[in-house]
Amino acid sequence: MANQPKASTAYSVTFASSNPESPDRRLETKLASPFSSQLGHGLPRPPVIQPNQIPLPSDRIPSLNTAIQTNFIPLPYIRTPSPNSVRHPSQVPFPYVRIPSPSSVSPVNGIRDGSAHPFLSTPPGPPRFSSPVQPAALPFRTSNATPQPLAFTSGSSLPTSSSPSPRYSNSSVDFQDQVSEASEDLLPLIEVTNILFSASKVLKQTKLLSTTSLGFGALVSAGRDIPFGPQIIQRDPHRCQNCGAYANFYCTILIGSGQWQCVICRNLNGSEGEYIASSKEELRTLPELLSPFVDYVQTGNKRPGFVPVSDSRMSAPIVLVIDECLDEPHLQHLQGSLHAFLDSLLPTTRIGIVLYGRTVSAYDFSEESAASADVLPGRISPSRDSLKELIYGTGLYLSPVQSSRHVAHLIISSLRPYELNIPEASRDRCLGTAVEVALAVIQGPSAELPRGVIKRSGGNSRIIVCAGGPNTHGPGSVPHSFSHPNYPYMEKAALKWMENLGREAHRHDTVVDILCAGTCPVRVPVLQPLAKASGGVLILQDDFGEAFGVNLQRASTRAAGSYGLLEVRCSDDILITQAIGPGEEANADEHENFKNDSSLSIKMLSVEEMQCFTLSMETRSDIKSDFVYFQFAIQYSNVYLADITRLVTVRLPTVDSVSAYLESIQDEVASVIIAKRTLLRAKTSSTVNDMRATIDERIRDIALKFGSHIPRSKLYRFPKELNLLPELLFHLRRGPLLGNIIGHEDERSVLRNIFLNASLDLSIRMMAPRCLMHREGGTFEELPAHDLVMQSDSAVVLDHGTDVFIWLGAELASQAGKCAAALAACRTLSEELTELRFPAPRILAFKEGSSQARYFVSRLIPAHKDPPYEQEARFPQLRTLSAEQRTKLKSSFIHFDDPSFCEWMRSLKISPPEPS
């Protein structure tokens, strides 16, 4: 099959076959370059990866910035949670029993006391909100997702408190896949929160498992911390010499000879005598055989061509690249945000400031009495000689905040508004040249090292661009007007130049974040390649005020690992057919190759907690074994220059029963995987309409394949095991990602890029909003996101991922005291729900009937159109209202054509699923 043209900026691969039941599928790629991994005879060809969207970073990763432990921690191990934080139940370490909690507070949206980052321009409110969120009136699922436990047991033959151990044998032929009940009681049940599968069981029939409408896959958060803390091993791992898989918790061990059998390819491997033991109890002291997730740590610098920096310069620098073509109102907001940003930095953080307009100004921190800068032309890239003069001159362009805070504030205060009478979109801005200068400032004298030798700093350096308009001057620029005769050619050249600059920044361990604000279009398609290729993110804001300032702070504090590589190996002919996330194809020389290695290898542009890779999987043929195995090897360097290989091995049971498989499906994870596969193809307004139709067809196909026909009716019954899935996808098709509730294509493009790389927590919130109604006494009740929540005497918080809305009913707004108290409580809750979220959402508050209230109304399902019995079934809080209140609520709605969820399902010839 001929290669398809490159169709998206996120990497994507697809297996296609004219006969879907044929085990011999041919690879259809969307990438021109061939995959370079070595393949063994008879093994499937791994998927080819395309360059990825802008990654979604996080605020911090404890696991990447903590000092290396020299001794491993034996399990069971209990970590006492901080009193200032509330963790998801799946993250709370129970020593021996996992307690499922289908209606618990979600991990990111749980209530927290205290803030890691000061908020900007936040009016004083009541004491920090600490009352719990009340559950919904019926068992409406409130958590984002309940992470699946490792499939430690085979079926349900063992009690929930038992857990497995490695399989040991003294016989050279005893390699059966049987686990004795006596050997399954060594470990507590531990949930892997950074690997989430769409189902906790795997269907043996490939025809049903690979159904494209539902599918099977996983979400991999490579940088997310593991609650219990992995076992630390300071030696090289044992690896299968056939496929490259690692020795792990589930391997069968011959304790007499020290040989171990690979769970991926079943190959027998030696252990250089390390696994020779007198008893299986002796082997239990080895960390990789005691826990399904371990960290291999190498503290020595084994990378040739890298020059490590000294401990005194461990703090990776931050360079602010600031647009100086702003009008006075925008500049005043930006100055306030920058002053607060400087005050929030740690004293040891090294800071640099670069301004750009028609020229580039690199500010000198050695002048304490005045703002002084070296100026370079912006129409061309800086020459080698000019950069050498800048770096080796008398100026000081990077300085610790503790010794230069006063000078930095002086520089920010010296900024002046744009004086010429030229429209915002037509002003000369040499953003590309400014980033080149900032990159040279970060490199310093290492820029003179021979090519191929790179300074290896601790963690990622950061360039944060504060942009108010498009790049229209110098390298990587586009003309002011779209009507320019050469605009298409110049835009194509600008895209390529920006991508190359981003790759150069990534090569020097520097991330470029672009924060855009104001009313001037910034030509998002031209700026995205720069942020994407460097591992950064592009964000659009309404103005340079509070939300912009919070994002400045959170962008600077995102702890990140560098030189990341993700390797995924699967057993039993399971194929990874598509991968979406913040990465690109790994070259053959970037990872070790084995003769029959069919692993998926992804080069991660940065390793951050809230990033996520979405993997879609299929099988070549029916599965015969009782278990399938998945191994994830996450390699990166942390801020202490230690090389980490985090190994997570997951075992899932296989089943013949379709109902058992459906019961094991995690609706939230499955819906996010479906949504990301859909959004990957939504590039233009016409394709967006097609994707909405695709969701309709997907829901109909699931009902036909897994549901049942209702007797004496034309409707099909949707499978009750998946009752949450249709509503989540209904929110997706009418929300900002696929709907028409936001106006500009640039905004939709940025939101889609964020969503494609977002973790499960943020992805769920961006798909389906979370609705919380304020109650007397300062508590909140979670309700379905239906317009029936718009009760005139109430205040409601609607969390939609990148936006949080506070709606105040007209009757409540007329009572000044109660309204102020409710608004303060809602504001406090909103800040706590989004305390660690990046990008930081804007928080808007408005009253019923105001023009801004349309933002709120458009995101709610119009359930008022349903008959009363369905309203009460799906929104039982209505039963608490009096007849007068219900009449008043009913009369407040305005008729429009959008269907309700039930109307939409019936239009597809499907009976709406029962409420969960």
User: Would the pLDDT of 177 be above 70?
Assistant: no
Query: Mapping DSSP to helix (H, G, I), strand (E, B) and coil, where does residue 246 land?
Result: strand
Token reading at 848: 């019923």
User: Would the pLDDT of 760 be above 80?
Assistant: yes
Query: How high is the pLDDT of residue 150?
Result: 34
Beta strand spans in 639-746 (E): 643-655, 708-709, 716-717
Token reading at 164: 């497995």
Sorted by sequence, the CB contacts under 8 Å of residue 664 that are 6+ apart come out as 199, 200, 201, 655
Token reading at 542: 């309404």
Query: How high is the pLDDT of residue 605?
Result: 86
The average pLDDT across 396-420 equals 93
User: Would the pLDDT of 129 be above 70?
Assistant: no
Query: Mapping DSSP to helix (H, G, I), strand (E, B) and coil, where does residue 223 land?
Result: coil
The average pLDDT across 226-243 equals 83
User: Would the pLDDT of 126 be above 80?
Assistant: no
The average pLDDT across 68-85 equals 35
Confidence of residue 165 (pLDDT cuts 50, 70, 90): very low
Q: How far apart are CA 648 and CA 382, in angstroms?
A: 46
The average pLDDT across 842-871 equals 91
User: Would the pLDDT of 791 be above 90?
Assistant: yes
Interhelix angle 667-679/760-767, rounded to 10 degrees, is 80
**Lowest pLDDT segment from 392-396, 548-552, 569-573:** 392-396
Please list the helix, strand and coil fractions of the chain in percent, rounded to the nearest 5, in that order.
30, 20, 50
- Residue pair 135/782 in contact (Cβ under 8 Å)? The answer is yes
For 208-224, letters b (16+ CB in 10 Å) and e give ebbbebbbbbbbbbbbb
Q: What is the percent of the chain with per-residue pLDDT over 70, rounded to a whole number?
A: 75
pLDDT, tens only, 275-284:
998 888 888 8
User: Would the pLDDT of 392 be above 60?
Assistant: yes
Q: Any idea what DSSP says for residue 449? A: S
Confidence of residue 300 (pLDDT cuts 50, 70, 90): low
Q: Any idea what DSSP says for residue 861? A: B
Query: How high is the pLDDT of residue 746?
Result: 82
Beta bridge partners of 644: 297, 636
pLDDT, tens only, 815-824:
999 999 999 9
The average pLDDT across 73-81 equals 34
Helix spans in 707-815 (H): 725-734, 745-757, 760-767, 810-813
Beta bridge partners of 363: 373
Write down the mean pLDDT value for the chain: 78
Sorted by sequence, the CB contacts under 8 Å of residue 850 that are 6+ apart come out as none
Query: How high is the pLDDT of residue 527?
Result: 95
- Residue pair 910/699 in contact (Cβ under 8 Å)? The answer is yes
- Residue pair 56/762 in contact (Cβ under 8 Å)? The answer is yes
Specify the higher pLDDT residue, 884 or 166. 884
**Lowest pLDDT segment from 178-182, 511-515, 654-658, 838-842:** 178-182
User: Would the pLDDT of 306 be above 70?
Assistant: no
For the ranges 107-121, 452-466, 629-643, the maximum mean pLDDT occurs at 629-643
**Lowest pLDDT segment from 139-153, 378-392, 517-531, 847-861:** 139-153
User: Would the pLDDT of 231 be above 90?
Assistant: no
Token reading at 460: 């990622």
Specify the higher pLDDT residue, 431 or 158. 431
Query: How high is the pLDDT of residue 191?
Result: 61
- Residue pair 362/390 in contact (Cβ under 8 Å)? The answer is yes
The average pLDDT across 506-517 equals 92
- pTM passes above 0.75: yes
Confidence of residue 228 (pLDDT cuts 50, 70, 90): low
Query: How high is the pLDDT of residue 456?
Result: 53
User: Would the pLDDT of 740 be above 50?
Assistant: yes
Q: What is the percent of the chain with per-residue pLDDT over 90, rounded to a whole number?
A: 50
Token reading at 355: 């301004």
The residue assigned the tokens 């936001």 is 742
The residue assigned the tokens 């399990």 is 75
Query: How high is the pLDDT of residue 133?
Result: 52
**Lowest pLDDT segment from 116-125, 384-393, 484-493, 650-659:** 116-125
Query: How high is the pLDDT of residue 183?
Result: 37
The average pLDDT across 178-185 equals 35
Residue 667 burial by Cβ neighbours in a 10 Å radius (0-12, 13-18, 19+): buried
- Reference 785, options 864, 855, 860; nearest CA is 860
Residue type, 241: Q
Beta strand spans in 432-553 (E): 454-456, 461-467, 510-517, 538-541
Q: How far apart are CA 502 and CA 504, in angstroms?
A: 5
For 44-66, letters b (16+ CB in 10 Å) and e give bbbbbbbbbbbbbbbbbbebbee
The residue assigned the tokens 């020595």 is 300
Query: Mapping DSSP to helix (H, G, I), strand (E, B) and coil, where does residue 442 land?
Result: helix
- Residue pair 223/618 in contact (Cβ under 8 Å)? The answer is no
pLDDT, tens only, 325-335:
999 999 999 99
- Reference 145, options 668, 681, 705; nearest CA is 668
- Residue pair 618/15 in contact (Cβ under 8 Å)? The answer is yes
User: Would the pLDDT of 141 be above 50?
Assistant: no
The average pLDDT across 39-51 equals 40
Task: Tally helices (H) and strands (E) across the chain.
Answer: 22, 37
DSSP-assigned states of every residue in 348-375 = T-EEEEEEESSEEEEEETT-SSS-EEEE
Query: How high is the pLDDT of residue 298?
Result: 84
Residue 737: count other Cβ atoms within 10 Å of its Cβ: 25
What are the Cα distances from residue 435, in Å, to 289, 373, 494?
48, 16, 14
Q: How far apart are CA 51 and CA 586, in angstroms?
A: 11
Confidence of residue 840 (pLDDT cuts 50, 70, 90): very high
- Residue pair 844/804 in contact (Cβ under 8 Å)? The answer is yes
Residue 535: count other Cβ atoms within 10 Å of its Cβ: 30
Query: Mapping DSSP to helix (H, G, I), strand (E, B) and coil, where does residue 807 land?
Result: strand
- Reference 1, options 9, 14, 580; nearest CA is 14
Beta bridge partners of 538: 514
- Residue pair 789/773 in contact (Cβ under 8 Å)? The answer is yes
